[in-house]
Amino acid sequence: MIAGTLLALVLVIIVMRLESKGQLEGQRWAILLDPASGVPQTLGRALLATLQAALLGMVFALIVGALLAAMRLSSRRALSISASILVEGFRGVPLLLLMLFAALGLPQIGIELNVLTMVVMALVVYNSAVICEIIRAGIESIGRGQTEAALAMGMRPLQILFRILMPQAIPAMTPLLVSQLVILLKDTSIGYVIGYAELLRSGRSLVEFYGNRYGLQIYLAVALIYILTNVLVSLTARRLTNRNVKKPKSPAPESPLLTEDGPVAPQPTTNPVH
């Protein structure tokens, strides 16, 4: 109750301050929906660029992360150690440094990439390492009894991983994976430093063009787009997960016993008392 009252008081103070500074004038907010201003078109293109980089990064990060997890869980020490070195190296380097290396370092060794590829590559390198650890922890949380039983039946390690362990681990891993994918989407904003025209960079360009008079409105619009996009990603992932989780089947009713006088309902069994 007290926290709600304090929050309402803070909101009232903020609204009053905005009103006193003229930030609530309709003209300042109308620019966000006025096609003549070019703001809706610019933010729309920036949203598409953000989603393009994020979706490509998500798909490839999940694939690479799953492969790294398979390597880390491998019984072959060479594969396991190699994957561990890659994961610790990728996870220990800041994402900003990875993007700067893609933009400034790779051209020094003769590798020229477009800006979208640079952003996606940096996102995949960093997030695949985190996703690898999420998958590995989820699989290791399942008892070894199932793995040993599958090996006894002659199944190969990869078959055990993708047919037995992964389907059981996915529901437990989903919340962490969704959180990491949301972080990945927000991390596309770091592409700002290498010239990728995503939401944040486009919003900043609009503020520089129109001046600080519309800065608050444009930045709030950018923040709202990020929030709505992340909510949609989370809801979509949860819906897909709920569809894949099978509900337990109720036991089938016992069939009646057939006698010469007709069907007779089965009698409940009782244990004799000694």
Q: What is the pTM of this model?
A: 0.76
- 115: three-class secondary structure by DSSP: helix
What are 191's two structure tokens? 């592409």
> pLDDT (tens digit, 9 = 90+) per residue, 17-72?
766 666 667 777 788 888 888 889 999 999 999 999 999 999 999 999 989 988 88
CB distance 193 to 99 below 8 Å: yes
What are 185's two structure tokens? 């989407």
Burial 231-268 (b: 16+ CB within 10 A, else e): eebeeebeeebeeeeeeeeeeeeeeeeeeeeeeeeeee
> pLDDT (tens digit, 9 = 90+) per residue, 4-16?
677 777 777 777 7
> pLDDT (tens digit, 9 = 90+) per residue, 191-227?
989 989 899 889 999 988 888 888 888 899 999 999 9
Give the pLDDT band of residue 243 (cuts 50, 70, 90).
low
- 98: three-class secondary structure by DSSP: helix
Domain 35-244 architecture: Orthogonal Bundle (1.10)
> pLDDT (tens digit, 9 = 90+) per residue, 69-79?
888 888 889 99
What's the mean pLDDT in 241-266? 49
| Cα separation, 40 vs 26, whole angstroms | 16
Question: Could you tell me how far CA 215 lies from the centroid of its own chain?
Answer: 29
Domain boundaries, the chain: 35-244
